[in-house]
Structure 1
Amino acid sequence: MRVAVIGCTHAGTAAINNILNLYPNAEIDVFEKNDNVSFLSCGIALYVGGVVNDPNGLFYASVEQFENQGVRMHMNHEVTSCDINKKQLLARDMKTNETKSFGYDKLIITSGSWPVTPPIPGSDLENVLLCKNFAHANEIIKRSESVENVVVVGAGYIGVELVEAFEENGKNVTLIDSEERILNRYLDKTFTDPVEATFEQRGIELALGQTVSQFEGTGTVKKVITDKGEYKADLVVMCIGFRPNTALFKGQIDMLPNGAIIVNEYMQTSVKDVYAAGDCCAVNNNATKQPAYIPLATNAVRMGTLVAHNLVNPVLAHPGTQGTSGLKIYNHNIASSGLTESAAKLAGLSVDSAYIEDNYRPEFMPENALIQLKIVYEIETHRIVGAQVISDADFTQSINTISLGIANNMTIEQLALTDFFFQPHFNKPVNYLNQVALAAMAKEAEKSKKETVLA
């Protein structure tokens, strides 16, 4: 069995590792534009901020490791065309410019994503950088050493992490985003307000609700112009978001309007013997029950693993995802799963929410911390569809618990009565997860009471 793998970050690496275990006689050809595999881009901010000193720690597999196991690694190779019906692809050696044809029996598309790059005038100026791969990370570190004013465009996870890293390195930092809040896709306002307040206390300028219209400078960027102001910039890092890297397959396999490849629960595309995994494709969202584009390393690893298991026969189905993610910014420990209240309504769900803000330990304990926890649930079914937490203490693992609940259609009543331990060092007699679900039940009971009175 000849297997061709296009792309080798998280999904590709997981697929190869599992194919080697499951099908030791498989002939594997891997085509990767970079000179490395398995780069943890989530560590870029930690690398920039000096938390990670050895960049080699940001990789969990190597080209040599795969080659020693018999995998043919075509590094610095760009796949220029792929005829899915003929099972043939052309790959160009980016160093020699030589192009060769390769045949395969099974094709695995793990081509990942690429940063969104709007056609902003001045984008080609020196020191206007992207933030995605290892080369980007090294370039950001190299160029940031001699600059004073840094502008980060995009207030998603990568953007806010970079803002923290640059500020802690003594830079003057401005964060620009077209949304009115940071982390708008992941958290509701109650959970972003504390982070924004910390940014402002640290001297970070928040230019929110603003759209970049131009970069100015002679050769090197010196200023960022928005629709509402202008900001000094010796370095700009673009973190607007990501798009699926799938142009090569347009018109050959089914995709969402944004280019994300549609796969079934066995990671099969609309064409036989063609599989896809990771940031290049959509995945079933258990909160909405619809395919969605959720580019996360955790999703990519699971999908890559499933590709290998289903390569010969469909035996292991994807359980869906909740888009569960976590973040640490300064003293704030944050995590979320599923949908925010606003995202749920945009998805057409009729939802309500419950929120608690409380000490996590009994008040007699000498040390304590405040926990802010919210769940979002469907009004008709009481099914939990989302959750968020923020605290100076670390309660992020509680969101993993709720993620499991969302995957299994757990209701607020079931969460309210779930058996969680009590020990004063860790929680109160009524665990915070029980507590927030009980608050949701009380809210629904109050609604029923009002409806009864009105009837």
Structure 2
Amino acid sequence: MTMKIAVVGCTHAGTAAVTQMAKLYPDAQITVYERNDNISFLSCGIALHVGGVVKDAEQLFYASPEQLAALGVKTYMLHDVLAVDTDAKTIRVRNLVTGDEFADTFDKLVMTTGSWPIIPQMEGIKLENIVLCKNYNHSQMIIEKAKLANRIAVIGAGYIGIELVEAFEQLGKQVTLIDNMERILYKYLDREFTDVTEQALIEKGITIAAGQTVTSFGGTDGRVSTVFTTHGEYEADLVVLCIGFRPNTELLKGQVDMLPNGAIIVDDYMRTSKPDVFAAGDSCAVHYNPTGQNAYIPLATNAVRMGTLVAKNLNRPTVKYLGTQGTSGIKIYDYNIASTGLTETAALAAGMNVKNVTITENYRPEFMPTYEKVTLKVVYEADSGRIVGAQVLSKVDLTQSINTLSVCIQNGMTMDELSYVDFFFQPHYNKPWNLLNQAGLQAVLI
């Protein structure tokens, strides 16, 4: 009998799952339901598109319904799944074009419904020119509205917010960045790094309104004109909300185990608590190696890995998920920045007993014609020496060192071990004692 696989939602995790399943199970009947009119949009490219680095938004799609059809996959675009019964193995679907509803059955269900931006319910939120930043349609709307805007407020100083602020500034706009934490990029970097990046933004004329919570929006003629915060007010004729994301998991509420925020809990093989129901991507919690706990870390990297693993493990547990360190990187003007695992701030907030080594050093020998400063911070458990996090910042691209430290965290390595790992030396690139070795050696001395 032909195996029927239903896939709900098709961005990063869904596309990865579907393309792999089509190869691994050529006889299966794979059906994708997607409520949008497109699939596989790289939302992390929106700021690049807004800033004109990526001229054609079509390049930010890495798959299409036509490509999936060529693999034998049936894709229903503009179809909204209204209900899922995991026991009866049925789903109810509405065609958003015609309004018609129909039912379908499945043997295996893959929930890759992703996330949706958090929208605060407050006065003025429905005013025109207050926009979200998540999908292709949002990116087009932001570009169109930015053409006519002079003062732009970005709310939320995470990666997406920061990248948009830089893009808007380069388009010649007056930009205000508002965040309720006391500094930008609070989740990703410690103060030594955010102080430098804040200064870089301020030098470009960007207003940073940190430690302030938006309370309401004011407008004229139905359009936004003012953002009110706990500390004051800011003029804006365009507001982009980048406050964060929530998992889209209403369909499975009460049917599978979830975190309090609604993220679906999956095991090492992407299985939910219900047989034959799998989940991957931004709709899920991930196993966070630095703490050993389930956490909500919506990243495209996690999504494509998890989606691929759904396909591998569909019939039986085969390939285990290795967990994540939440490794990420960002370029802010001249600075190349990356982080992995816990910041010192986050580790202390979690009640962990940690120490850190912070090195600011020239990245290569001073006898070379040029050399730039690099700042590296490694956070580790005080008792065991186990590495739990790291951050790097330099005008030279040394971000790959954070991928190396991600592997170290994943493998449970200690600072002692890091001291003597075999890294190459070449004066073009580094010093005889690699920066990562130096961090390990300095920890040993503490």
Q: Structures share a fold, TM > 0.5?
A: yes
Could you give the per-residue CA deviations for residues 335-357 of structure 1, whole angstroms, max 9, x where no partner exists?
A: 00000011112223211100100
Listed as ranges, the matches of 1:328-347 within 5 Å are 328-347=331-350
Moved more, 346-355 or 399-408: 346-355
Structure 2: distance between partners of 1:407 and 1:131 = 31
Matching residue's letter, 1:410? M
Task: Give the deviation of 1:271 after TM superposition.
Answer: 0.2
Listed as ranges, the matches of 1:61-76 within 5 Å are 61-76=63-78
Task: Give the deviation of 1:82 after TM superposition.
Answer: 0.6
Question: 2:299 aligned to 292, 296, 299, which one?
Answer: 296
Could you give the per-residue CA deviations for residues 9-40 of structure 1, whole angstroms, max 9, x where no partner exists?
A: 00000000100111001101101111111110
Question: 2:206 aligned to 199, 204, 207, which one?
Answer: 204
Could you give the per-residue CA deviations for residues 188-229 of structure 1, whole angstroms, max 9, x where no partner exists?
A: 000111110011111100011001011111311011011111
Secondary structure in structure 2 of the residue aligned to 1:284: strand
Pairwise CA RMSD? 0.7
Could you give the per-residue CA deviations for residues 207-261 of structure 1, whole angstroms, max 9, x where no partner exists?
A: 1100101111131101101111101111000000001110111101000001000
Counterpart in the other structure of 1:449: none
Q: Give unpaired runs (5+ residues) of structure 2.
A: none
Task: Give the deviation of 1:68 after TM superposition.
Answer: 2.1
Secondary structure in structure 1 of the residue aligned to 2:148: coil
Counterpart in the other structure of 1:398: 401
Structure 1: distance between partners of 2:89 and 2:384 = 47
Structure 2: distance between partners of 1:152 and 1:97 = 36
Structure 2: distance between partners of 1:258 and 1:348 = 22
Counterpart in the other structure of 2:435: 432
Matching residue's letter, 1:434? N
Listed as ranges, the matches of 1:116-155 within 5 Å are 116-155=118-157
Structure 2: distance between partners of 1:114 and 1:78 = 15
Structure 2: distance between partners of 1:350 and 1:106 = 44
Counterpart in the other structure of 1:28: 30
Secondary structure in structure 1 of the residue aligned to 2:255: coil
TM-score (norm 2): 0.99
Question: 1:47 aligned to 36, 46, 49, which one?
Answer: 49
Counterpart in the other structure of 2:235: 232
Matching residue's letter, 1:409? G
Does 1:305 pair with 2:319?
A: no
Counterpart in the other structure of 1:420: 423
The aligned length equals 443
TM-score (norm 1): 0.97
Does 1:388 pair with 2:400?
A: no
Structure 1: distance between partners of 2:104 and 2:288 = 35
Structure 2: distance between partners of 1:146 and 1:341 = 42
Q: Is this contact kept in 1: 2:4–2:30, CA < 8 A? A: yes
Does 1:102 pair with 2:92?
A: no
Structure 1: distance between partners of 2:32 and 2:318 = 24
Q: Is this contact kept in 2: 1:277–1:303, CA < 8 A? A: yes
Structure 2: distance between partners of 1:441 and 1:355 = 13
Structure 2: distance between partners of 1:349 and 1:18 = 39
Structure 1: distance between partners of 2:23 and 2:66 = 17
Structure 1: distance between partners of 2:35 and 2:329 = 29
Matching residue's letter, 2:69? E
Q: Is this contact kept in 2: 1:152–1:173, CA < 8 A? A: yes
Matching residue's letter, 1:68? A
Q: Give unpaired runs (5+ residues) of structure 1.
A: 444-455
Structure 1: distance between partners of 2:346 and 2:115 = 22
Task: Give the deviation of 1:55 after TM superposition.
Answer: 0.8
Q: Is this contact kept in 2: 1:82–1:89, CA < 8 A? A: yes
Q: Is this contact kept in 2: 1:355–1:439, CA < 8 A? A: no
Task: Give the deviation of 1:437 after TM superposition.
Answer: 1.4
Q: Is this contact kept in 1: 2:19–2:71, CA < 8 A? A: no
